[in-house]
Structure 1
Amino acid sequence: MKSRSKRSRALNFVLIIGVMSFFADFTYEGARGIVGPYLAILGAGAFTIAFVTGFGEFVGYAWRIISGNLSDKTGKFWPIMIFGYVVQMASVPLLALAGNWQTAAILIVLERFGRATRNPPRDVMLSHAAKEMGYGWAFGVHEALDQFGALFGPLVAAGIYAWRGDYKLTFAMMIIPALTMLLLLAVARFTYPHPEELDDTPPNVNTRGLPRVFWIYLTGAVLAAAGFADYPFMAYHFQMVHSVSSADIPIFYAIAMGVSGAGSLLFGRLFDRYGIIILIPLTILSAFIAPLVFLGGFWVVLIGIILWGLGTGVHESIIPAAVALMVPVQRRASAYGLFTGAYGIFWFLGSLLIGALYGFSIQAVIVFSMIVELSALPLFLLVKKHNF
């Protein structure tokens, strides 16, 4: 009976954090789709827009390394996570008050900073609950709710803008999901003040640093990330070659987010049953995304985008879920910060290289993407030999 009650509390914790992530993604993903043209209206040029958004993404991943270390050293998981969420949720509606592109740029970077601050401690708390219900399933449920927010947020933002044609009003309306998210955060904080009590894993006091298998896994993950093209870049290609119409590009993204959420649930279950081995066929499938989206017509591109959405869900749920199994409980925040930070930085660097290769040849983009993705396979197989 006690075990069942503990499992129920763990599930409820994952669900409330997942619903929080739904409204958080609803807020900032709703805004991200329109920040480019908004900066342009405020007077920013193409290079400035690219720099601001690119630098924001860099901060959004690199700062996680510091946030993770700070969480481990202080043990203040809730305060650090709350601070990150407040900064992030405040930054989006405040864009409505930006009088120039410089102010808007600061808010855009602050939003990414807030996200980077709250992610490592949040993932650690999720991992405590995951001990009771399965790491793949817990992270999969959370990621599904997260991605459904990423699906509905941009659609609602697009609807508000179509209704009034006002970017400032659209940003201002994002205060509704932002406040909802912060209210849920307060409920979660007072309902689960000590989520670590859901996990009876004893700390390994003899462990210094992170184990070798973690570094092998991290190397494989950053290779998989480096070959994984960003959707905005793929959308740029669709417009250049007219393989997908401008009207269908956001629809394809919505389809990808839906597939991502559903895939997180399915493969989360499979991960708990079969372990890291399921990354092998998924990585092989990911290697075929580039030829499908860069060479195909409408329907072939759609297949590629479905695979891209599936890969996104796996990258955001199963890959980090496995980290909790590899590292001592007292080093999880540092491990998550380092892992997701390095992952995002290499995704960013890989995207830059893909963009440079695109100007040379589409075939070069495809070859690079496939080789880098497939090079992760032997590393994942090596991790499997460590019984993961």
Structure 2
Amino acid sequence: MELRPAAAGMRPWRFVVWFGTVSLLADFVYEGARSVTGALLASLGASALVVGVVTGAGEAAALGLRLVSGPLADRSGRFWAWTIAGYALTVVSVPLLGLAATVWTACVLVIAERVGKAVRSPAKDTLLSYATAATGRGRGFAVHEAMDQIGALIGPLTVAGVLALTGGDYAPALGVLAAPGVAVLALLVRLRRRVPNPGVYEHPAAAEPGAVPKGQLPAAFWMYAAFIAATTAGFATFGLLSFHLIQRGLLAVAWVPVLYAGAMAVDALAALATGWAYDRIGPRVLAVLPLLAAAVPALAFTRTLVTAVCGSLVWGAAMGIQESTLRATVADLVPAGRRATAYGIFAGVIGGASLAGGALMGALYGYSIPVLVAVVAAIQVGALALLAALLIKRV
């Protein structure tokens, strides 16, 4: 179903695909940079502590600051302005990072790139949510995520190729990312001109700038946030998975990025599959997420290469659901005028739960892998119970 295409200036599916192209190019830029952030900082004299603190602070900023940018975007109603400003900060910071002469300049630029993501994400997801009301929430977010992952693959490979050709010179390797960065901003300006008010895809009232309904977020959203917190807290990170593979001598270091790329490919496929399923059966499809999360450590933390690799690919499938179908559900639970706020809280919940879960998984890995597997299974059973309560409430 496609709603009000003439009023919007572009058909909903075309809007989703072009927005997906923006994300593809943006991921080309910042994932390319993130693939060498640690090595770049080290080349400038940073210690392991500095690298850890700066990259951790960047991720905290990328998630935590959305608690501020989301409500501000809702209050102003200027979703395009927030989106373009955030992307601009990212695509400017990355090429400059290659020119950084001191470690502290580089640190500021690394964090600035992540702040750009925090600035744009709630507003961007809100704009996308309008169009997915016409294309189907699950399918729209799934296609966007799949295109996003293409950029996440191309960027690091491009940077690696330029580094190989230039003998490890970071300036041209990161400078080449200016080209897709310029394309990001050009496409955003074009989209804004063609579709100044994407809210018409969903409902005419949503297109009125600053028309923010008063009141609290729905109770169902808070139940959903509890489900997200539970399933994320019991989700192992790829960092821990790759640590296990190296420590156990199951995989050579050079093959870890290849495995990560494979997980990202599975991410895209899982996003598409669950997105289509979401539009047919609704949030019940999310029951697969705790099951996948529980399977990850049971497979990945074994002493057999094939089983451990399968665990990493299952991790990729779970990530695909997190990045697409979870966002689609937020759009269905929250009215348009409060949606950027909800996306900000959504990111904050994931960030806090990821931090707690990462610490828990790391501690349990050092203590006992069987205990880790059992604890994760118990957490995911709790997450399923929360999802069941949400589904019952919505009936």
- Is 1:242 aligned with 2:256? no
SS of alignment partner, residue 97 of structure 1: coil
Offset of 1:210 from its aligned partner?
A: 0.8
> Measured at CA, do residues 134 and 69 of structure 1 come closer, stay the same or move farther in structure 2, by a change above 3 Å?
same
2:171 equivalent to 1:171: no
1:162 aligns with 2:164: yes
Q: 1:5 to 1:201 in 2, by over 3 A?
A: closer
Tell me what 1:29 maps to. Answer: 31
* Residue of structure 1 in register with 2:183 after alignment: 180
Structure 2: stretches of 5+ with no match in the other structure: none
User: 1:119-153 CA deviation, whole Å, 9 max, x = no partner?
Assistant: 00011111110111110011111111011111221
Moved more, 339-348 or 316-325: 339-348
Aligned residue identity for 1:40: A
Matched, 1:316 2:323: yes
Once residues 175 and 212 of structure 2 are traced to their aligned partners in structure 1, the CA distance between those partners, rounded to angstroms, is: 49
The structure-2 alpha-carbon separation of the partners of 1:190 and 1:4, relative to structure 1 and needing over 3 Å to count, comes to closer
| 2: CA distance, partners of 1:29 / 1:332 | 26
Q: Contact 2:25 / 2:151 at 8 angstroms: preserved in 1?
A: yes
TM-score by length of 2: 0.93
| 1:266-305 paired onto structure 2 within 5 Å | 266-305=273-312
- The Cα offsets for residues 8-43 of structure 1, whole Å up to 9 and x where unpaired, read as 611111111100000111111111111111111111
Q: State which of 303, 313, 334 in structure 2 corresponds to 1:306.
A: 313
Kindly indicate whether the alpha-carbon contact (under 8 Å) linking 1:56 and 1:109 is maintained by their aligned counterparts in 2: yes
Tell me which residue corresponds to 1:339: 346
- Equivalence for 2:119: 117
Correspondence for 2:373: 366
In structure 2, the residue matched to 1:259 is 266
CA RMSD of aligned residues (A): 2.0
Which stretches in structure 1 are left out of the alignment for 5+ residues? none
Does structure 1 residue 228 correspond to structure 2 residue 215? no
Contact 1:22 / 1:148 at 8 angstroms: preserved in 2? yes
Task: Give 1:4 shift.
Answer: 7.7
The residue number in structure 1 matching 2:197 is: 194
Give the match for residue 66 of structure 1.
68
Q: Indicate which of 364, 368, 382 corresponds to 1:375.
A: 382
Decide which moves more: 225-234 or 127-136: 225-234
Partner of 1:38: 40
Deviation at 1:193? 1.0
Q: Deviations over 1:153-212 (max 9, x none)?
A: 112212221222222321111112211212211111111111111111757988610111
Q: Distance in 2 between matches of 1:135 and 1:71?
A: 21
Deviation at 1:101, TM superposition (A): 1.3
Kept in 2: contact 1:91–1:110 (CA 8 A):
yes
Distance 1:356 1:105, change over 3 A: farther
Give the 3-state SS of the residue equivalent to 1:186 in structure 2. Answer: helix
Cα 1:161–1:373 shift into 2, 3 Å? farther
Indicate the larger mover: 278-287 or 3-12.
Answer: 3-12
Q: Could you tell me how far apart the structure 2 residues matched to 1:160 and 1:367 are?
A: 45
SS of residue in 2 equivalent to 1:209: coil
In structure 2, distance between residues paired with 1:201 and 1:308 = 40
State whether residues 290 and 370 of structure 1, in contact with CA within 8 Å, keep that contact through their aligned partners in structure 2: no
Query: Are the structure 2 counterparts of residues 261 and 206 from structure 1 closer, same or farther at C-alpha, using a change threshold of 3 Å?
Result: closer
Distance in 1 of aligned mates of 2:113 and 2:2: 41
